[in-house]
Structure 1
Amino acid sequence: MASTYSFDVVSDFEWQEIVNALDQTEREVKSRYDLKDTKTTLELAKDAITVNTDSEFTLDAVCTILQTKAAKRQLSLKIFDYGKIESVGGNRVQQVISLRRGISSELAKDITKLIRAEFKKVQGSIQGDTVRVSAKSKDDLQAVMQRLKAEDWQVDLQFTNYR
């Protein structure tokens, strides 16, 4: 009997790396001369980061620092979903940056459609916020991985549970 091989396509990030990147961002904001007196706060929730500062210019600088720190920690910038900039009391602004985790159902459908169209011997199935890809040949699975990496998706994709 021929065995089948599979892997999962997921979109996830290491939580501790987000915590570390946020901590480094806070330290740099407190130590930088141009940002020291802005009373900028960064709050990490389960699925979002809230940045509260004194102006849009400062907010842009803080977001740039956050992106730099995240990139140095091998976090994809595609996990950040920037919300609208809101004015809060006392001439301050606030922005909620949502953290993307998981593959949306529309994206999962697009991935399985691409697999069906280009790889006849490979099956893709949607399982919640992951896509399970299976085939009889490991070479076919490697080809699917290379093809998915070549595409520019709106989220960062990882491949797990390779069996």
Structure 2
Amino acid sequence: MPSFDIVSKIDAQTLDNAVNNAKKEILNRYDFSTSKSTVELDKKTNVLTIVTEDDMRLKAITDSIISRFVKQNLDPKALDFEKPYISVTGNMIKKDIVVKEGIDQTAAKKVVKKIKDSGLKVQASIMEDQVRVTGKKLDDLQAVIALCRTEDFGQPLQYINMRN
């Protein structure tokens, strides 16, 4: 029985390249020449940490990161921006950006509901952080992929492991 998986993954090397290019861009900008701004990527937890002096620089850094994501063919919807917080001394702003991996339960439920509402003769099931779709015909599976590409589920989706 043919099947495929719907997942949400980010290539670690491409993510690292995008962050490093954003760092280089920030270091070369004139308005950041006297800045103590830092951008760090924790590769184990996929969290970007930005530390800078003011809101203007914070916005410039986040814009640079988003533009580098787009240039590296990564979807910016994979970034989860948390609320910035000011340090105890009050002169630095810190912001964490979580890079989402895997489909969360609410998005997975939306994907399954959309597939079931479509009326296609396929079965969709949630398996941890991915959705497995099985059906009798390959054409139905391709129709599911086309259907999911038209909808926005709040995170980037990839379609892998197509089996006959």
TM-score for both structures, normalised by structure 1: 0.95
Which residue matches 1:77?
76
Matched with 1:32 is 29
1:86 aligns with 2:85: yes
Aligned counterpart, 2:107: 107
Kindly provide the CA deviation profile for residues 44-91 of structure 1, in whole angstroms up to 9, marking residues without a partner as x. 112210000111100000110111111100000011111111111351
Residue 64 of structure 2 corresponds to residue 62 of structure 1: no
Q: Which residue of 2 aligns with 1:132?
A: 132
Aligned-residue RMSD, C-alpha: 1.0
What is the rounded CA distance, in whole Å, between the counterparts of 1:120 and 1:142 in structure 2? Answer: 11
Distance 1:90 1:106, change over 3 A: closer
**Post-superposition shift, 1:120?**
3.8
Q: What's the CA shift for 1:113?
A: 1.5
Query: Secondary structure, in 3 states, of the residue corresponding to 1:126?
Result: strand
The equivalent residue for 2:10 is 13
Partner of 1:162, secondary structure, is strand
Amino acid across the alignment from 1:159: Y
CA contact (8 A) 1:119 1:144 kept: no
Query: Which residue of the partner structure matches residue 48 of structure 1?
Result: 47
Q: Mean Cα displacement is larger for which, 117-126 or 143-152?
A: 117-126
- Cα distance in 1 between the residues matched to 2:70 and 2:104: 23
Q: State the distance in 2 between where 1:8 and 1:115 align.
A: 13
Give percent identity, aligned residues only.
Answer: 35
The 1-side partners of 2:2 and 2:30 are apart by: 55
CA contact (8 A) 2:53 2:93 kept: yes
CA distance in 1, matches of 2:120, 2:28: 56
Distance in 2 separating the partners of 1:7 and 1:119: 18
Query: 1:27 and 1:36 mapped to 2: Cα distance?
Result: 12
Cα distance in 1 for partners of 2:152, 2:86 equals: 34
Listed as ranges, the gaps of 5+ residues in structure 1 are: none
Runs of 4+ in 1 over 3 A off after TM superposition: none
Q: Is the 8 A contact 2:75 2:156 kept in 1?
A: yes
8 Å contact 1:78–1:156 — kept in the other structure? yes
* Cα distance in structure 1, aligned partners of 2:5 and 2:57: 40
Q: CA deviation at 1:97?
A: 0.4
Paired with 1:133 and 1:126, the residues of 2 have a C-alpha distance of 9
Aligned length: 160
For 2:145, give the aligned amino acid.
M
Measure the CA separation in 1 of the matches of 2:78 and 2:151.
Answer: 17
**Structure 2: any 5+ residue segments left out of the alignment?**
none
